[in-house]
Amino acid sequence: MATQARMRLLVGGGASVVLAALALWVPVEPRFPPAWQSPAQAAERAERDLPALGLLWGKVRGWSRVGTGWTVLWQPSHGMWLVSAWVPDGPAEIRWRIDAAPWLPGVRLSRAAAEVLLGPSGGVEQARERLGRRDWQVGESRLLGALPAGGELPSAGLLRRPVVLAVLVGLLLAGAVSRHLVPGVPGRGWRYSVVSVVLLLFATLPELPALAPMTFQPGVRPWVAELAFGTAAVLLLGALMYAGQRFPATAGSSPVALLPLALAVGALAGRFEPAIWLVNVAGLTLRLPVLVGLAVLAGWLAGIAGSGLRELLRFSAFARVVGLSLLGVAGVGFGGAWTGVTLAVVSAAAVERGWGTWMGMGVVWGWFFGSLWVVARWETALWDALVFVLLGCGVVAVAHLAREHRSAKSESPASP
Amino acid sequence: MFRVRYALQVLVAAASLVVAMDLVKGRGVPGEVQAGALARAALVRLGYEPLGEPTATFEGDQELAWALERARPGPAGVRLARGQGGAVRWRVVFPGGGEAQVTVDGVIWSLRRPVPSAPGPALFPSMARSRVETAVAEAIPDPSAWGLVRAQGWREGGHIWQRGWYVGGAGELPSGWRRELELEMVGSTVVSWRRTVHPLGTDLGVVTGRMAELQLLRRPALLGLGILVIGVFVAAAESVAYRESTAITRGVAYGLVTAVAGSFASDTLVAAPIQGVVAAVVVALLPVWTGLPRTRLRFGPAAGVALAAVTLAGRAYILGAGGWTPVTPPVPGDISPIRLLADSWAPALVEEPLLRGALPALAAPIVGWWGAALLAAPVGVLLHPLPTVPLAASFALELVLQVGLAVVARFAGVGGAVLARGTCEALVRRASYPVGSDWERVALIGVILGAVLLLWPRRRG
């Protein structure tokens, strides 16, 4: 029995490697320009190449990938201003901007900053300080420090798909209700997994505000912004932990034969339509635990939505085939950044209940890997992407072997 | 035993009425009646006799008032906000023409009379100056500290108009602030003047920075409520599927009241109809959540009076301990009894069923009732705090209120918590509205209701 299990696992593992290689080998035109440097490298370059502007920049507070570069944000601890810079991957010019608190007309720019703004021809003739308004008087005109200084930075385009999102949220709610109305045997392992990854994400919380640079605002001290983000994250993770107990995945063996396929489908989806936000996650120091935590939670949620879809289409076999096919095609055609999630939900709904969460997680795992492979092209991120996918395969293998071992023990005749 | 209990209820009703009367007595924005007389006298000094009874509207500059209080701690700051700082004032408009702004402490802040048909001969700027300076001397307490910084003249409608800008340094205001006066004259008649105050950026920044921070911190609380609403809707779907007994009529009625209150309130969490729907679903589901404490409405308002007293005492304590919290109450956008009623009761109607009803009902199986109630407290804390220095003092004060409401909900149920919160809010918010018995009656509605419920004869057993 154990030998059969090992053989199945070996075949499954081999299939995973072959399919993952195939998914990486399929020629795909990248939809987003890949990032060739990490945000930390971009920040270092900006600090090295930009004039200091006579301002205290403070610590790097966050970053986001915009076009072919990184927008990095600095803020001093008093929070009175934000310095942001868009650092392109190539040798192009770095663009920067200073935003000061609206209540601070007294943010008088330094002479160096004023000279940068006025260009080489203009000189700061007179530093005239007035009550609460410390401006530079330049001939007839006045340079107000409180106005946004520097240029406009490029902004990321919106990737919203409201219809897809609404369908996914509806399926999630249907799945939550269906897990109560059509109860199965709750999987203890899944419950532990959700709790464990939530605790893991709690541990990485101090790093996570960097992923939400919009939280930092001029005039708001950064610790308050971090507190706001942390509170929101704690509430969200707490709710997920609660939901993990209340709507647990159904127990079931891992579908070793199907998981390689799910991984490959996910990886291919990630290469076609990468989750662009993952490149921001890849910029974290603790990227691996964060990726694992997010993938487990996303896979489990895909399992819940899949349960909802399965129950909604249960009334006829024909409807099930047509519904799943339509949603799959719609997800690939119109899903945009949600393609991977849509495919994970369809995969979870297409198999039996005990396998749903496994399949959802397999697709999400592959989708994360494929996305990272396409968009985060600096060395450490690529290595961590490989470790991420191997870690997932390893955990599945261990879970499968442990289950087979348990079932073999329970089937063996009781010792006298 | 029954008689003893009833006697205790009478005692509680009397005590809550007395304390509530004490809390609202003498509080409120003064000066409405005097503002009309002062404005009339000032216009007469400008040579214009206004006709008819004026209408007075309350207006204020929230940030300016709080910045003055922050820059000059203690009663001096409050005096400045209500007087020479010009942050809280009445706008007085006479039906036959003529308008003035008078601070609540009686300082004329601006004045405008109708342009006379014969404004007198046009004056050369040099001759006009002495006349203007006479008018300035009447407008401000320390004319020697003021100086003309800019003047402008033009011809319009057959008359010469002249305008001058005076700057008066900081005066009584905190160091670094600046006072300005703009005065207009037609022919040889002064027709208007207006004072303004320019705060020091850093003084204003402490207040507006705190307000921006609290606004940011409100977002996670709204997210928490959003998550809770998702849980409520999943529970509603389950109760429909299991055909559980729900209070649909009561829920719809409650939702309508909530939506109406929200539509009159100045600040709501989301659009009033959405609030109404959510509140309706929660109240309809209350019978399903059998683990919640039984509602005893009559104790709610008395608890609300106690919570209001604690809140006001907490603010005084922060000031006494060297911190800062606003003394001038938040300036409402519109002054009307219905606004006071809605602003006080809308948060109670929406938030209490969610925080003291839905959250404990959903989370109690895992963390217990008290655990769930303590989970609700941080969400409630972030919804409506006032800016303080240090910021943590504001959260501590709100936390006391939230824990108090959790205790009320434990012993008087969700309904009791709604009445307690509404009563407390009405008593605390009373200070933002003008003095007068009409406003006091509106603020005391919850207390009176509580007293009636406590004194209502109940059957033995």
The residues that bridge with A85 in the sheet, in sequence order, are A72, A96
Residue with tokens 């968009």: A375
Residue with tokens 């205001």, as numbered in its chain: B173
Closest CA to A346 of A137, A160, A88, A168: A168
Chain A interface, best mutation among B61, B225, B234, B355, by max A CB count within 10 A: B234
* pLDDT tens, residue by residue, B79-133: 898 888 888 899 999 998 899 999 998 889 999 999 888 888 877 767 777 777 7
Higher pLDDT, B416 or A3: B416
Give residue A2's pLDDT band: very low, low, confident or very high (50, 70, 90).
Answer: low
pLDDT score recorded for residue B115: 87
Amino acid at A388: F
Q: Are residues B359 and B265 in the same domain?
A: yes
Q: Cite the DSSP H helix spans in A283-338.
A: 287-312, 317-334
Sort residue A410 into left (φ over 0), alpha (ψ -120 to 50) or beta: alpha
Least CB–CB distance from B209: residue in A131, A219, A227: A219
Phi, psi angles (nearest 5°) of residue A285: -70, -40
- Residue A271: which of A319, A340, A347 has the closest Cα? A340
Residues B217, B187: one domain? no
| Residues B173 and B228 placed together within one structural domain of the fold | no
Give per-residue pLDDT as tens, A236-276.
999 999 898 888 888 877 777 788 888 888 988 888 888 88
- A139 pLDDT band (50/70/90 cuts)? low
What residue type is assigned to position B263 of the chain?
A: S
Give the integer Cα–Cα distance in Å for B395 and B314. Answer: 11
Interface residues on A facing B, Cβ-Cβ cutoff 8 A:
79-80, 101-106, 131-133, 173, 176-177, 180-181, 215, 217, 219-221, 224-225, 227-229, 231-232, 235-236, 238-239, 242, 245-246
How many Cβ atoms sit within 10 Å of the Cβ of residue A415?
Answer: 4
Q: Are residues B311 and B346 in the same domain?
A: yes
| Edge-to-edge strands, sheet with B159-167 | B55-60, B88-93, B99-103, B108-112, B189-198, B178-186, B159-167, B147-156
Count residue pairs from A and B with Cβ separation < 8 A. 92
- Whether B286 maps to a domain, the answer reads yes
The answer on pLDDT for A128 being more than 70 is no
- Looking at residue B439, its pLDDT comes to 87
Contact between chains at A173 and B201 (C-beta distance less than 8 A)? no
Q: Which chain B residues are within 8 Å of A220, Cβ to Cβ?
A: 209, 212-213, 216
pLDDT category of residue A136 using cuts at 50, 70 and 90: low
Q: Do the domain assignments include residue B44?
A: no
Of B459, B432, B461, nearest to B332 (Cα)? B432
> Mean per-residue pLDDT for B52-78?
86
Inter-chain CB proximity A106 and B202 less than 8 Å? yes
Distance from CA of A69 to the nearest CA of B (A): 28
Please tell me the distance from the alpha carbon of residue B84 to that of residue B174, in angstroms, as a whole number: 11
CA distance B365 to chain A (A): 10
Chain B CB contacts of A133 below 8 Å: 201
Supply the DSSP symbol for A35: B
Same-domain status, B165 and B252? no
Are B364 and B245 in a shared domain?
A: yes
pLDDT at A61: 94
Q: Does a structural domain hold residue B30?
A: no
- Per-residue pLDDT band at A130 (split at 50, 70, 90): very low
Contacts of A101 in chain B (CB under 8 A): 205, 208-209, 212
Higher pLDDT, B11 or A113: B11
Contact A132 B382 (CB under 8 A): no
Which of chain A's residues have a Cβ under 8 Å away from the Cβ of B216?
A: 215, 217, 220, 224-225, 228
B398 contacts in A (CB within 8 Å)?
Answer: none
The single-letter code of the amino acid at B213 is E
All residues of chain A having their beta carbon less than 8 Å from the beta carbon of residue B178 are 131-132
Residue A75: its H or E element: strand A69-75
**Residue B438: both structure tokens together:** 């009409």
The Cα–Cα gap between A217 and A29 comes to 37
**Residue that finishes a domain, picked among B199, B234, B250:** B199
What is the rounded average pLDDT of the residues B127-140?
78
Q: Which domain holds residue B139?
A: 59-89+104-199
Residue type, B341: L
3-class SS letters over chain B: CHHHHHHHHHHHHHHHHHHHHHHHCCCCECCHHHHHHHHHHHHHHCCCCCCCCCEEEEEECHHHHHHHHHHCCCHHHHHHHHCCCCCEEEEEECCCCCEEEEECCCCEEEEECCCCCCCCCCCCHHHHHHHHHHHHHHHCCCHHHCEEEEEEEEEECCEEEEEEEEECCCCCCCCCCEEEEEEEEECCEEEEEEEEEECCHHHHHHHHHHHHHHHHHHHHHHHHHHHHHHHHHHHHHHHHHCCCCCCHHHHHHHHHHHHHHHHHCCCCCCCHHHHHHHHHHHHHHCCCCCCCCCCCHHHHHHHHHHHHHHHHHHHHHHHHCCCECCCCCCCCCCCCHHHHHHHHHHHHHHHHHHHHHHHHHHHHHHHHHHHHHHHHHHHHHCCCCCCCECHHHHHHHHHHHHHHHHHHHHHHHHHHHHHHHHHHHHHHHHHHCECCHHHHHHHCHHHHHHHHHHHCCCCCC
pLDDT of residue A211: 93
Q: Do A131 and B198 touch (CB under 8 A)?
A: yes
CA atoms of B400 and B319, how far apart (whole Å) = 17
Flag whether pLDDT at A148 surpasses 60.
no
Q: How far is C-alpha A390 from the chain's CA centre?
A: 19
Side-chain-facing half-sphere of A205: CA atoms under 13 Å: 18
Tokens of B171: 């005066």
Backbone dihedral angles phi then psi of residue A229, each to the nearest 5 degrees = -65, -45
| B interface test, pick of A131, A181, A304, A311 with most B CB neighbours within 10 Å | A131
CB under 8 Å to A162, separation ≥6 — which residues? none
Q: Mean pLDDT, chain B, as a whole number? A: 88
Quickly state the pLDDT bin for A97 (edges 50, 70, 90).
confident
B200 to chain A: closest CA residue? A132
Query: Which pLDDT score, from 0 to 100, does residue A133 have?
Result: 46
The answer to which of A14-23, B177-186, B247-256 has the lowest mean pLDDT is A14-23
- Give the closest-approach CA distance of B129 to chain A in angstroms: 26
What pLDDT is stored for residue A129 in this prediction?
Answer: 44
B209·A79 Cβ contact <8 A:
yes
Q: Residue A103 and residue B205: Cβ atoms within 8 Å? A: yes
Mapped onto helix, strand or coil, the DSSP state of residue A120 is coil
Q: What's the CA gap between B436 and A13, in Å, rounded?
A: 81
Contacts of B385 in chain A (CB under 8 A): none
Is the pLDDT confidence value at B197 over 80?
yes
**Distance from C-alpha of A61 to C-alpha of B182, rounded to nearest angstrom:** 45
Could you tell me if B188 and B242 lie in one domain?
no
Residue B99 C-beta-side C-alpha neighbours within 13 Å: 9
How many independent structural domains does chain B possess?
Answer: 2
Percent share of chain A, pLDDT over 70: 81
pLDDT in tens, A277-335: 899 999 999 999 999 999 999 999 999 999 999 988 888 888 888 888 888 888 888 88
Residues 167-196 of B with CB under 8 A from A: 176-178
Cβ contacts of B400 within 8 Å, gap of 6 or more: B310, B311, B314
The predicted model gives A353-379 an average pLDDT of 90
Contact B150/A at CB under 8 A: no
Instruction: Indicate which of B149, B167, B217 best probes the interface with A, i.e. most A CBs within 10 Å of its own CB.
Output: B217
- Token readout for A255 is 């579908």
Q: Looking at this protein, which amino acid is placed at residue B450?
A: G
Whether residue B297 sits in one domain with residue B179: no
B8 found inside a domain: no
Q: How far is B299 from chain A (nearest CA, A)?
A: 32
pLDDT band of A233, cuts 50, 70, 90: very high
Q: Do A224 and B213 touch (CB under 8 A)?
A: yes
> In chain A, how many H helices and how many E strands?
13, 8
Predicted confidence at residue A150, as pLDDT, reads 66
Quickly list DSSP for A366-397. Answer: HHHHHHHHHHB-SHHHHHHHHHHHHHHHHHHH
Beta bridge partners, A183, equal: none
Mean pLDDT lowest among A204-208, B150-154, B305-309 = B150-154
What is the average per-residue pLDDT within B298-319? 92
The secondary element (H helix, E strand) that includes residue A38 is none
Is the pLDDT score of B264 beyond 70? yes
Q: A133: nearest CA in chain B?
A: B201
- Residue B176 in any domain: the answer is yes
**Residue B98, in any domain of the structure:** no
What are the C-alpha distances in Å from B414 to residues A313, B293, B309, B373, B409? 40, 8, 21, 12, 5
Give the closest-approach CA distance of B200 to chain A in angstroms.
5
B223 touches chain A (CB under 8 A): yes
Chain A nearest CA to B384, separation (Å): 15
Are residues A235 and B177, on separate chains, in Cβ contact within 8 Å?
no
CB distance A177–B366 less than 8 Å? no
Mean pLDDT within B75-81: 87
Residue in A103, A217, A228 nearest the CB of B220: A228
What pLDDT, on a 0 to 100 scale, did the predictor assign at position A345?
93
The residue in chain B having the minimum alpha-carbon distance to the alpha carbon of residue A240 is B227
ipTM of the complex: 0.83
Cα–Cα distance for residue pair B297/A131, rounded to 1 Å: 56
Count other Cβ atoms within 10 Å, centred on residue B393. Answer: 21
CB contact under 8 A, A217 and B216: yes
CA distance A378 to chain B (A): 34
What long-range pairs does A287-290 form, CB within 8 A, spacing at least 24? A287/A381, A287/A384, A288/A384, A288/A387, A288/A388, A288/A391, A289/A200, A289/A201, A289/A203, A289/A204, A290/A201, A290/A204, A290/A207, A290/A208
Confidence of residue A141 (pLDDT cuts 50, 70, 90): low
Which candidate from B216, B234, B391 shows the least CB-CB separation from A225? B216
Q: Is the pLDDT of residue B209 over 50?
A: yes
CB contact under 8 A, B241 and A181: yes
- Taking CA–CA distances from B228, the nearest residue in chain A reads A239
Both B194 and B208 in one domain: the answer is no
Residues B354 and B228 in one domain: yes
Burial of B349 (0-12, 13-18, 19+ CB in 10 A): buried
Domain ends where: B199, B223, B251? Answer: B199
- CB-count exposure of residue A275 (10 Å: 0-12, 13-18, 19+): buried
Beta bridge partners of B108: B102
The CA distance from B362 to B354, in Å, is 10
Nearest Cβ partner for A228 among B217, B230, B233: B217
In the numeric block, which tokens belong to residue A124? 């700061």
Contact assessment for residue B208 and residue A106, using Cβ atoms and an 8 Å cutoff:
no
B206: left (phi over 0), alpha (psi -120 to 50) or beta: alpha
Minimal Cα distance from B218: which residue of A? A228
| Mean pLDDT, residues B147-172 taken together | 84
More confident residue, B332 or A355: A355
pLDDT at A131: 38
With CB atoms and an 8 Å threshold, state whether A106 touches B363.
no
- The answer to the question of residue B47 being in a domain is no
In the predicted model, is pLDDT for residue B262 greater than 60?
A: yes
Q: Which residue has the tokens 């963390």?
A: B367
- CA-based nearest distance B219→chain A, Å: 7
Nearest-Cα distance to chain B for A224, in Å, is 7
Q: Which residues on B lie below 8 Å from A236 (Cβ)? A: 223, 227
The verdict on B252 and B334 lying in the same domain is yes
Tell me how far apart the alpha carbons of residues B310 and B307 are, in angstroms, rounded to a whole number.
Answer: 5
Mutate to test the interface with B, among A231, A236, A246 (most CBs of B within 10 A): A231
Q: Chain A contact for B361, CB < 8 A?
A: no
**Mean pLDDT estimate for chain A:** 83
Judgement on whether residues B224 and B142 belong to the same structural domain of the protein: no
- The gap from C-alpha A74 to its chain's centroid, in whole angstroms, comes to 21
Does the CB of B382 have a partner CB in chain A at under 8 Å?
yes
pLDDT at residue B138, as a whole number: 76
Please name which of B138, B144, B136 lies closest in space to residue B181, comparing C-alpha atoms: B136
To the nearest whole Å, the CA of A377 is away from the closest chain B CA by: 34
Domain boundary assignment for chain A: 2-30+159-411, 39-150
Indicate yes or no: CB of A242 within 8 angstroms of CB of B366.
yes
pTM, 2 dp:
0.84
